[in-house]
C-alpha cells in the first residue's frame, strides 16, 4: 500500500467523489484508509451510567485504498505513486509520462529533484576493501 498517514488524497469513486482530505489512519491488512471528512457514519451510543446521556456520534469510516489517489504536494494534481531509489532508500515520487517528478515523501523532497537532474554516469567506483589484519602485518 503506497498511501501513508498525513498524505493528502482525493476520492475518485463513490458517494464522496471529488472530495479531498488528509489520511488519519491506514489499515494495510484490510487495504483501507480513514480520510478526514469522508465516509461519515452515525453511531448511536447508549448511556452506561446514571449521569450520562445517550447520544449520536459521527465519525469517519474506512474507505478502500483503491478508491483514493494521492495529491502531489508540489503541483496539486492527483497521481499514481511511482518508486525510485535515492541514497539507498525507496522513495515515492509523482512520476509517469505526465508526472512532475516531485517526491511525495517530505524527507526526500529536495534530494529527488537533484538526483533526476544529475546524470547516472557520474557514479563513483566502489572503494577497495582491505582487511585490518593485513594492514597490521604490513606495519
Task: Indicate if 56 and 82 belong to the same structural domain.
Answer: no
For the four alpha carbons of 59, 62, 67 and 71, in that order, the dihedral sign comes to positive
| Domain total in the chain | 2
Task: Indicate if 45 and 84 belong to the same structural domain.
Answer: no
Task: Indicate if 96 and 64 belong to the same structural domain.
Answer: no
The predicted model gives 25-51 an average pLDDT of 95
In a domain, residue 93? The reply is yes
Reference 94, options 107, 120, 67, 76; nearest CA is 76
Q: Do the Cβ atoms of 133 and 126 come closer than 8 Å? A: no
Q: Which of 17-26, 71-80, 119-128 has the lowest mean pLDDT?
A: 119-128
The predicted model gives 70-96 an average pLDDT of 86
By three-state DSSP, how is residue 126 classified?
A: coil
If one compares 119 and 22, the residue with the highest pLDDT of the two is 22
The pLDDT > 70 percentage for the chain reads 80
Cβ neighbors of 53 (< 8 A, separation 6 or more) are 47
By three-state DSSP, how is residue 15 classified?
A: coil
What pLDDT, on the 0 to 100 scale, is given for residue 86? Answer: 82
CATH code for the domain in which residue 29 is found: 2.30.30.30
What are 86-124's pLDDT values in tens digits?
A: 888 888 888 777 778 888 887 776 666 555 555 455 556
What pLDDT, on the 0 to 100 scale, is given for residue 119? Answer: 45
In a domain, residue 45? The reply is yes
**C-alpha–C-alpha distance, residues 33 and 1, integer Å:** 10
The pLDDT > 90 percentage for the chain reads 50
**C-alpha–C-alpha distance, residues 111 and 117, integer Å:** 10
What pLDDT, on the 0 to 100 scale, is given for residue 55? Answer: 95
Backbone angles phi, psi at 93, to 5 degrees: -130, 160
Half-sphere exposure of 82 toward its Cβ, with a 13 Å CA cutoff? 16
Q: Does an H or E element contain 110, and which?
A: helix 109-117
In terms of residue numbers, what domain contains 59?
Answer: 1-71
Amino acid at each position: 500500500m503506497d498511501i501513508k498517514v498525513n498524505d493528502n488524497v482525493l476520492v475518485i469513486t463513490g458517494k464522496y467523489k471529488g472530495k479531498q482530505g488528509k489520511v488519519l489512519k491506514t489499515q494495510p491488512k484490510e487495504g483501507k484508509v480513514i480520510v478526514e471528512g469522508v465516509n461519515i457514519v452515525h453511531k448511536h451510543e447508549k448511556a452506561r451510567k446514571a449521569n450520562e446521556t445517550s447520544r449520536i456520534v459521527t465519525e469517519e469510516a474506512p474507505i478502500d485504498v483503491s478508491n483514493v489517489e494521492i495529491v502531489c504536494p508540489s503541483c496539486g494534481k492527483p497521481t499514481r505513486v511511482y518508486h525510485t531509489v535515492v541514497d539507498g532508500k525507496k522513495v515515492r515520487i509523482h512520476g509517469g509520462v505526465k508526472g512532475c517528478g516531485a517526491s511525495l515523501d517530505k524527507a526526500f523532497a529536495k534530494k529527488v529533484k537533484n538526483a533526476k537532474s544529475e546524470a547516472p554516469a557520474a557514479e563513483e567506483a566502489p572503494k577497495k576493501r582491505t582487511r585490518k589484519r593485513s594492514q597490521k602485518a604490513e606495519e
